[in-house]
Amino acid sequence: AQTVTQSQPEMSVQEAETVTLSCTYDTSESDYYLFWYKQPPSRQMILVIRQEAYKQQNATENRFSVNFQKAAKSFSLKISDSQLGDAAMYFCAYRSKDMRFGAGTRLTVKP
């Protein structure tokens, strides 16, 4: 079974600084996708970024980028120039057939 592990229950960052959220996963499959979702207090799940496992190049979306290490089964999210609106729960997710989520990291942004 696939498992997703987020070892940081909470993280804090100063506004305009950079923060990295960690995620590891366990799978025996070779073809899969990885996602980071953001969940603000509104409960709406918002896609932040996705990574195809067959691509070596790390995905980037504006201030958000990932460090994907397939051999190590690691998929961390880097948020640059943090903004107050980035404060939320962040979930790492793995998808082959269905989607599995990590436990989440609560990010606080300090002004």
Partner 1 sequence: SAVISQKPSRDICQRGTSLTIQCQVDSQVTMMFWYRQQPGQSLTLIATANQGSEATYESGFVIDKFPISRPNLTFSTLTVSNMSPEDSSIYLCSVAGGWGMNTEAFFGQGTRLTVV
CA atoms within a 13 Å half-sphere pointing along the CA-CB vector of 56:
0
Closest to partner 1 by CB, 15 or 26:
26
Tokens of 41: 């207090």
Q: Say if CB 40 and CB 88 are below 8 A apart.
A: yes
Binding range to partner 1, per CB under 8 A, among 40-48, 57-65, 68-76, 80-88: 40-48
Shortest distance (Å) from residue 33 CB to partner 1:
5
What residues line the site for partner 1 (CB under 8 A)? 31-33, 35, 42-45, 47, 50, 52, 89, 91, 93, 95-104, 106
